[in-house]
Amino acid sequence: MDHLIAIPLDTSPAQRQSLHALQQTFAEVCNAVAGRALAQRCWNRVALHHLVYHEMRERFPDLGSQMVCNAIYSVSRACRLLFQNPQSPFHAPAAGNRPLPQVRFAPSAPVYFDRHTLSLRKGVLSMYTLEGRMKFRVNLNETQEAMFAHEKLKEICLSETGGRYALRFRLGSPNADETPAAKGDAPELPEYLLITENDPVPLVPPPPQAQTGVSP
């Protein structure tokens, strides 16, 4: 069983502006990745990385390399939720070769981090932004400290509600599935995913170089 720990961030106006800029850029990259993922029906995280990583680094040089990887993860996660889950109304195998609906990430979409872009040590949280590292002092209770000490950190995301930012950490057993979207439960579609069925994305075969060494 996974556990969620939410940590609100006490931000100054300048920090909120910086986090807002990061969130907007991250959503923009996610949309660029999603366009390629849907056109070629590629949402395996590793295969999608091989398909789009270098292109995204060239198109969005302001976003660090690891954050581009996190954007690819975000798209893979969302597409698996929408198109791989048999309970989803957009289950891709059931659609055959029919075009998939257009999917866009709203500017309010969460930003995903990992151990390379966010750290929490001795009550100090350090996180990546477009302007450099931003630090916050956080206070964990004993239960939360025990979770961080003994459970595997699976996911970190930043979200904004009513102008206030918070980080959400998902922790759990090291042997559990790390991708909730892969499970067979009926998915709850996030509000930040904008799905347009009247503007479908046709299937486009990937270029030959993208196919080399990539598993489906």
**What pLDDT digit, counting tens, does each position of 111-138 carry?**
999 999 999 988 899 999 999 999 999 9
CA–CA gap between residue 63 and residue 142 (Å, rounded): 35
Residue 46 maps to a domain: yes
> Mean pLDDT lowest for which of 44-58, 70-84, 94-108?
94-108
User: What pLDDT is recorded for position 207?
Assistant: 57
Task: Tell me the pTM.
Answer: 0.85
Residue 216 maps to a domain: no
Residue 151 lies in domain: 3-211
| Positive or negative torsion for Cα 38, 41, 43, 49 | negative
* The CA-based dihedral angle spanning residues 128, 18, 50, 93, taken in that order and rounded to the nearest 10 degrees: 120
User: What pLDDT is recorded for position 14?
Assistant: 95
* The CA-based dihedral angle spanning residues 29, 112, 100, 39, taken in that order and rounded to the nearest 10 degrees: 40
Average pLDDT rounded to a whole number, residues 60-89: 93
Residue 192 maps to a domain: yes
Average pLDDT rounded to a whole number, residues 159-186: 74
* Tally of structural domains, the chain: 1
Residue 77 maps to a domain: yes
Residue 84 maps to a domain: yes
Average pLDDT, the chain: 86
CA–CA gap between residue 163 and residue 176 (Å, rounded): 34
Residue 106 falls in which region: left (phi positive, over 0), alpha (psi -120 to 50) or beta = beta
